[in-house]
Structure 1
Amino acid sequence: MICKDRVVAVTGAGRGLGRAHALEFARQGARVVVNDLGVARDGTGRASEGPAHDVVREIEALGGRAVACADDIATGAGAAALVSTATEAFGRLDVLVNNAGFLRDHMLVNLSEDEWDAVVRVHLKGHFLPLRHAGLHWRAESKAGRPVDARVINTSSGAGLLGSVGQGNYAAAKAGIVGLTLVAAAELGRYGVTVNAIAPAARTRMTEEVFARTMAAPAEGGFDAMAPGNVSPLVVWLGSAGSRDVTGRIFEAEGGRICVMDAFRHGPSADKGARWDPSELGEVVTGLLAESAPPELVYGAG
């Protein structure tokens, strides 16, 4: 019960990873706002409150407390409604898990402007707006003298960290989430808020086609490394009081494996102390690259 009585809002919680996170938070004593727009895996179709309410009923069957929120968190009004749903139902908000998203994959030369905009909107804008409105709430609480011990867990991806062939829109959005996480951790720490991100790997509605092509099903009775619930323990711990000293970090989570990602760090450098001539730089750059670690392969490029 490491999150007993904490109030948690999870976006995209009607299915897949978000549902697994919401259920695990409930098992660990949290009260949960289950947000989901209820659309198709590519973001199309009519919105439905059904998936969010289904998860609420699952949580209540466990003996937990939850409310549904079917607002579009990639709009200012929807993000504000997510925060107000938590405060009106449970009196406060302690944890925000940004998880909502969908895919519209194509190679770059076949990727339409609408497909780019839709994916960047749901992933990147859909992280920024809930984070902004939750941050405004926590800042107001802190300035009013009420103690804040809040958490944000964002959802990036290996595609955002290393790239992924055929997913230029998704990879760009997920890389943007890493930058947003670092900035938010630096800016919101003064109000008692930590901000971290995960890069999960799991079999969900969004990724099932990829896994069906590339991975065999787990043996009967064996450990299913790609089950969404394997990612949730890390998310729940990051949402707990025990993680208050961890902020601005990116974690990969897959099966039983957790990895702290180093991301960009300053590497080998050369300083002439004056303006370089372009003709000098071939040898200089070649030397710097020889001293640095080679980049990891983009997913799908090997």
Structure 2
Amino acid sequence: MLWGVSGPLFLLDYLGAVAVALAVALAARELTGRRARGATPDPVELAYLTDRALLACQVGMAALHRAGVVRRGELATLSVDGPPPPRSPALVRALHAALRRPQTWAAVLADPGVGRALRRLVGRLVRDGWLLTPAQRRRIALGTLPLFAVAVVGVTRLVESAVEGRDAGGPASVVGLLLCCLATALGGWWLCEVPETGAAARRLLRRQRRQHAALDPQRRPAWRERSTDELLTAMALFGPRPLLAVDPGLAVQVGVDPERGRPTPEPKPARR
């Protein structure tokens, strides 16, 4: 009922409806993908959960670098001159295979073997529940519909009041309702950007960052004194900057931006 209440009372009812719609949208986001199966992801998989394919490949290159097999050549090329580390993840082995002949970093990322390894990695993360399926992502997107519905109700009251001369309340109520409608629509639009990671993966990343807080680059750990596992874990959780401290030349060559901080928590989907 749009017209049976005064402007201030309608605004209060509108805010209550917004709160309910927002709770529905957030619940859909937090409850979808809240359970995962299988073992805890390894550093390469954690890197994909943190910042997708590029960071996963950078962690793989750091693993090869720590094994002492990466060589930098002329014309910004990279190559390997030894075997990959024992029991390496599939992506690390694919990177090693791509570098058996000198290639640029862009060519390595475009290598068919690397692409296949990334697709298998993504499939495994989806199967185990760390990444959301398309159906789960649609479910989260549909959870934002109540917000848009509430915004439409508010706009309808304002428009019909203006066109038909109905009383929508005093100026303060009209302006307040207009601002609330705008905020509701913008909130729904923002929540339409569905995360690729499930709730279980986001909890895992937060827990891992707390457990490995000493590896945060902002604390300036002595990376050369750290083990390979610690270096890879730090890159996977906090971004690729630790590689800059270990080998700045290689880091820049594989796309590490010296000016960039840690990755954003919810980047836009960029699945390969």
More strand by share: 1
Instruction: Identify the TM-score tier after normalising by the shorter chain.
Output: under 0.3
Larger Cα-atom Rg = 2
- Normalised by the length of structure 1, the TM-score is 0.24
Structure with the larger helix share: 2
- 1 or 2 for the larger relative contact order (CA 8 Å, sep ≥6)? 2
TM-score (norm 2): 0.26
